[in-house]
Amino acid sequence: MSAALDLQVLENWLLNRYTSATCVKHHVPVEPSSHQFCLTLKKEERYTETALTMRTQRQFEISYWHNDPEEALAVMDDAAQSWYEDKGIRLPSGDYAMRLLSFTYAPLQTASELYGCLGTLTVEQRIQQHQEPVAKMGAIETAFQ
């Protein structure tokens, strides 16, 4: 999956779980609103594991804003608990979209009346590389009798 599609999956997961929240992707607004998530892609790394598999590792920054500091911490803790229990983020079909490596978060100091938490979500995917089909063997003949 592409990074843009992963952001969309993450946004859908958050908005399905926290139905009254809003979400902004790719930047943090100058003045975020209460009960708002902000998602950005921080880093992507790709590795070749074998001749047939590639591993993609991505880090996303997730910030969450709320009027109540206890609620901001509770939402981030709930998301973390769910991701660790499921060992990743699943698609509605039940398949894994992203496997969880780690999720860390901390409260943010702000000059406004909003309280925030900033988290880093690290996920990975293993992707099967394209393999050319191999021609099957034809007849096998023995050289002796």
Give me the count of residues in the chain: 145
From CA 25, how far away is CA 9, in angstroms rounded? 12
Q: Give per-residue pLDDT as tens, 41-63.
A: 999 999 888 888 888 999 999 99
Q: In total, how many domains does the chain have?
A: 1
pTM of the model: 0.81
Per the model's pLDDT, the better-predicted residue between 38 and 136 turns out to be: 38
| Residue 139 domain flag | no
| Residue 137 domain flag | no
> Would you say residue 1 has pLDDT above 80?
no
| Residue 30 domain flag | yes
From CA 36, how far away is CA 114, in angstroms rounded? 10
Which pLDDT score is estimated for 3? 85
| Residue 73 domain flag | yes
In the chain, beta strands by DSSP E = 22-25, 36-48, 53-66, 88-90, 96-108, 115-128
Residues 115, 69 contacting (CB under 8 angstroms): yes
Q: Give per-residue pLDDT as tens, 72-94.
A: 999 999 999 998 988 888 776 66
Residues 9, 89 contacting (CB under 8 angstroms): yes
Which pLDDT score is estimated for 104? 94
Q: Can you give the residue range of the structural domain that contains 83?
A: 3-58+66-128
Q: Which DSSP symbol is given to 17?
A: H
Q: What is the CATH number of the domain that holds 70?
A: 3.30.2000.10
| Residue 109 domain flag | yes
Phi, psi of 94 (to 5 degrees): 100, -10
| Enclosing H/E stretch for 86 | helix 69-86
Q: Give per-residue pLDDT as tens, 7-45.
A: 888 998 899 899 999 999 998 888 888 899 999 999 999
